Structure 1
Amino acid sequence: MQKEITNALKVLKEGGLILYPTDTVWAIGCDASNTEAVNKVYELKKRDNRRVLICLVADERMLKKYVKHIPETALNIIEVTDKPTTIIYDDGQNLAYNVVAEDGSVAIRIPDDEFCYWLSRKFNGAMVSTSANISGLPSPKSFKEISPEVLKGVDYVVNLHHEKICNKPSSIIKLSNNGIVKIIRE
């Protein structure tokens, strides 16, 4: 695993794209603070850049770097949830403008995955995590289902868990600073 982390780190730091397994699906990723790298993700996926991308961080300490105010409810959800949950927070910060929604919100998940944890920790930053498919097409359930276009469009493919059958995407919850909770995707 260490070799894969080292190789992926090099690509992330150079502004490249990686293809990597997460706690949910195979994902296309990049440095979430690098606007040009994020643009490459939108181009590869042929995705409308008004549809924001999910980011991964290693832990709550790192989350504080990217969200101005973390509602207590978010910390409770992170603590008790037993399935992957992405939370949309108001007032994102220190991220590329094209990762932040028009209303200033950001979608961030702390994955329950050893590789993602160590990659984010050693990178010391947020990483984009969007399903490894062209926008509008089904998300691949395994590495074998990833299209040649996506495989050729990234700078590095992590050589771990190629046999893994992926779970469904994460749940998404929007937590507003005013206390409103909205379930976006179960």
Structure 2
Amino acid sequence: MARYFDVHPVDPQRRAITQVADVVRDGGLIAYPTDSCFALGCQLGNAKGLDRIREIRQLDDRHHFTLVCADFAQLGQFVQISNAVFRSVKAATPGQYTFILPATKEVPRRLLHPKKKTVGVRIPDHVVTQALLAELGEPLLSSTLLLPDQEEPMTQGWDIKERLDHAVDAVIDSGECGTEPTTVVDLSGSEPEIVRVGAGDPSRFE
């Protein structure tokens, strides 16, 4: 049964954030809000957590997982960024974008796109998520909480708790969050490619 954490959206309770971080460190899988929509998240090296996300969402090995990072310095540890790309990403973060970039050796191979050796990264603009990332001191391996039988991501904490009670270990509810997933921009090639139009304005990369 999943633990349910009711967290204040502006001033997150330290005790609750610490408890959620402990769930992640202990190998747990969580559902948490972001500035775009809810996501599933686990520790970077958690192979079982990765498999559980794949199972919940019914994903194949070509799916780009996302490393949700606290800041630009952390993001830079996991992806290779040219000067031109640096300026584009820096101007759009924190925000509702996921960027696909060539991964560094810090990223476990099982997270990479099998052919491109790329990974998704993002820096969310969400108080609760940032508090959790600060407590963890490392990125969350994440994927949008979009179930196979649904066209839109789940947006209500209590609904997620009810639906995924035995599939996840904790649910953070901080009230309303976004209803639209991030805009995904592939910056691994010579020109930016909009992979998915979502909450972030894609025009700056077109």
- Report the Cα distance in structure 2 between the residues aligned to 1:109 and 1:33, rounded to whole angstroms: 18
Rounded to whole Å, the distance in 2 between the matches of 1:168 and 1:126 is 21
Which residue of structure 2 aligns with residue 152 of structure 1?
Answer: 166
Q: Which runs of 5+ in 1 are unaligned?
A: none
SS in structure 1 opposite 2:31?
Answer: strand
**Offset at residue 49 of structure 1 (A):** 3.3
Structure 2 residue aligned with 1:172: 184
Partner SS for 2:61: coil
Pairing of 1:136-151 with structure 2 (within 5 A): 136-138=149-151, 139-146=153-160, 148-151=162-165
What amino acid sits opposite 1:74 in the alignment? V
Question: How far did residue 109 of structure 1 move?
Answer: 0.3
Are 1:116 and 2:145 an aligned pair?
A: no
Asked if the contact 1:30/1:37 (under 8 Å) is kept, the reply is yes
Q: Which moved more, 1:36-45 or 1:73-82?
A: 73-82
Q: Is the 8 A contact 2:72 2:90 kept in 1?
A: no
- In the other structure, the counterpart of 1:54 is 66
Give the drift of 1:76: 2.1
Per-residue CA deviation, residues 81-110 of structure 1 (Å, 9 max, x unaligned), is 375111100134323333211121000001
User: What is the CA–CA distance in structure 2 between the aligned matches of 1:121 and 1:72, rounded to whole Å?
Assistant: 27
Displacement of 1:66 after TM fit?
A: 0.9
C-alpha deviation, 1:143, in angstroms: 3.0
Rounded Cα–Cα distance in structure 1 between residues aligned with 2:90 and 2:72: 10
Per-residue CA shift, 1:41-89, capped at 9, x if unaligned? 112222223312222000111112211x212233323333375111100
State which of 18, 34, 37 in structure 1 corresponds to 2:30.
18
User: How far did residue 173 of structure 1 move?
Assistant: 0.7
TM-score, normalization by structure 2: 0.78
Task: Confirm or deny: 8 A CA contact 1:28 1:130 kept in the other structure.
Answer: yes
Q: Percent identity?
A: 23
Secondary structure of 1:184 counterpart: strand
Q: Contact 1:65 / 1:93 at 8 angstroms: preserved in 2?
A: no
Aligned residue in 2 for 1:182: 193
Is 1:66 the counterpart of 2:78 in the alignment? Answer: yes
Check the 8 A contact 2:27/2:43 in 1, yes or no. Answer: yes
In 2 relative to 1, CA 77–142 (structure 1 residues): closer, same or farther, beyond 3 Å? farther
Q: Work out the CA distance in 2 between the residues paired with 1:54 and 1:168.
A: 16
Which structure 2 segments of 5+ residues have no match? Answer: 1-11, 198-206
Q: Which moved more, 1:45-54 or 1:11-20?
A: 45-54
Aligned length: 182
2:57 alignment partner in structure 1: 45
The CA deviation at 1:40 is 1.7
Q: Contact 2:34 / 2:177 at 8 angstroms: preserved in 1?
A: no
